[in-house]
Amino acid sequence: MALIVQKYGGSSVADAEKIKNVARRIAATKEKGNQVVVVVSAMGDTTDDLIKLAYQISSQPDARELDALVSTGELVSSTLLAMALEAIGCEAISLSGAQAGIRTDNAYRQARIVKVDSKRVAKELKAGNVVIVAGFQGITKDMDVTTLGRGASDLSAVALAGSLGAKVCERYTDVAGIYTADPRIVPDAIPLAEISYEEMLELATYGSKAVQPRAIELAELLGVPIRVASSFLNSPGTLIHGGESMEIRNKVRSIAHDLDVAKITVVGVPDRPGIAAALFEPLAKANISVDTIVQNTSINNITDLTFTVAKSQLEKAMTVVEPIAKSIGARECLSDSKLGKVSVIGTGMQNTPGYAARMFRVLSDKRINIQLISTSEIRITCIIEESQVVDAVRALHRAFELDTE
């Protein structure tokens, strides 16, 4: 008898029929002799709808109230799913984040899990129940409800799987697994049978929305394998794990892309200590996530500093950066909101020269200009014009022979 944690995303439980469909999948897993814990997201667009409602009431809704508000979405889907299971004769009980023992700090909207006290979950499993846990939420020591950040039902699932010693955390959504590139723009893209935590983390951070990055980090830390599969199909999907078979690969694994990129360049910055801190501390305080940062070699103690943000944050970022640029004696601030990002990812690239050169050659052959470059040990990312991203992904997918895996 194995203990399996399953997580279903909002699109899998978007209406009554889909909830019944998910219930049948869960019951089938139970009937094979497994103990099953299910973490569920809010139905369809519920979370966005609740946030919209809050902004009709207040232009700056309080973070604690907002968390208590949006957490109701997962209470609704989890109770309905428990009812659907009971309706087909499968004993089930729903638990809120609080009841499931997901204890967090009090950083509302982005709370961190402090510990998982899974006593109640274990007791309900022992009683023969499928346990449905409301994802995305936890509770502070003062009994206040928190949420863990967008997409964090994945995090709830991995944390529970770790705490309960589950064999695997199965993550179901409307895509069939992790692909060699986004199948919507690369028809030849192939689902991968497996991928390492590190690769998946780069993929998730650089464009694939498949699994929340924090969930992947936690899964690696706790050694919980994650299976990503579709709740509408019966394919095995992709196993994200840290197994040894990864090491022998010598290849690029996947091409990631992201169309939500804007760039700010502070031109003519005096190159002295403390300048970067003077710029990026206020951005962090304004809750603006800065992505790639590039600083050129300085000439005559003057340098240019470029960084990227999400397009929706460009305007706010400029209002923060412009007065600072002025005060530190920079010449000007430039911005460009029509950019995209394409990344080549694979552990096989470690200690193997030539991948970057090959990527740049492919883009050059397509007459695609590279504006910024950033790399990690297992990833190369180029910032290019938004209109050229699709071409770039297709060309790279072909050049690195991902269609023939």
Nearest CA to 224 out of 171, 150, 294, 296 is that of: 171
Shortest Å, Cβ 173 to a copy of itself:
21
Stretch that binds a copy of itself, among 88-96, 152-160, 172-180, 349-357 (CB under 8 A): 88-96
Shorter beta-carbon distance to a copy of itself: residue 56 or 234: 56
- Per CB under 8 A, the list member of 5, 93, 148, 195 interacting with a copy of itself is 93
- Per CB under 8 A, the list member of 3, 27, 51, 76 interacting with a copy of itself is 76
Q: Name the burial class of residue 393, with classes exposed (0-12), middle (13-18) and buried (19+) by CB atoms within 10 angstroms of its CB.
A: buried
For 45, 76, 118, 270, 323, the CA distances from 41, given in Å and listed in that order, are: 10, 10, 19, 48, 41
Shortest Å, Cβ 325 to a copy of itself:
34
CA distance 293 to 133: 39
The enclosing H or E element of 166 equals: none
Extract the tokens encoding 263. Answer: 């760039």
Extract the tokens encoding 154. Answer: 């994945």
- Per CB under 8 A, the list member of 14, 66, 102, 204 interacting with a copy of itself is 66
Pairs from 114-118 (Cβ < 8 Å, separation ≥ 24): 116/159, 116/160, 116/162, 116/163, 118/160, 118/163, 118/164
CA distance 324 to 330: 9
Check binding of 337 to a copy of itself (CB under 8 A). no
- Per CB under 8 A, the list member of 19, 22, 161, 359 interacting with a copy of itself is 19
Check binding of 322 to a copy of itself (CB under 8 A). no
- Per CB under 8 A, the list member of 86, 322, 336, 385 interacting with a copy of itself is 86
Shortest Å, Cβ 88 to a copy of itself:
9
Shortest Å, Cβ 9 to a copy of itself:
18
Stretch that binds a copy of itself, among 60-68, 170-178, 251-259, 301-309 (CB under 8 A): 60-68
Shorter beta-carbon distance to a copy of itself: residue 72 or 292: 72
Torsional sign, CA 88, 89, 90, 91: positive
What binding mask, one character per residue, do residues 119-138 give for a copy of itself by CB under 8 A, x or -?
-x------------------
For 78, 277, 316, the CA distances from 265, given in Å and listed in that order, are: 46, 16, 15
Shortest Å, Cβ 283 to a copy of itself:
26
Check binding of 276 to a copy of itself (CB under 8 A). no
CA distance 131 to 37: 5
Q: How many CA atoms lie within 13 A of 259 on its CB side?
A: 10
- Per CB under 8 A, the list member of 40, 90, 98, 317 interacting with a copy of itself is 98
Across 77-225, the runs of DSSP E, i.e. the strands, are: 92-95, 102-104, 113-116, 130-134, 137-139, 145-147, 168-173, 194-196
CA distance 30 to 198: 31
Check binding of 143 to a copy of itself (CB under 8 A). yes
- Per CB under 8 A, the list member of 22, 37, 84, 181 interacting with a copy of itself is 84
Check binding of 60 to a copy of itself (CB under 8 A). yes
Shortest Å, Cβ 104 to a copy of itself:
16
Question: DSSP state, 128?
Answer: T
Which positions lie near a copy of itself, rule CB under 8 A? 16, 19-20, 50, 53-54, 56-62, 64-66, 68-69, 71-72, 75-76, 78-80, 82-84, 86-87, 93-94, 96, 98-99, 120, 143-145
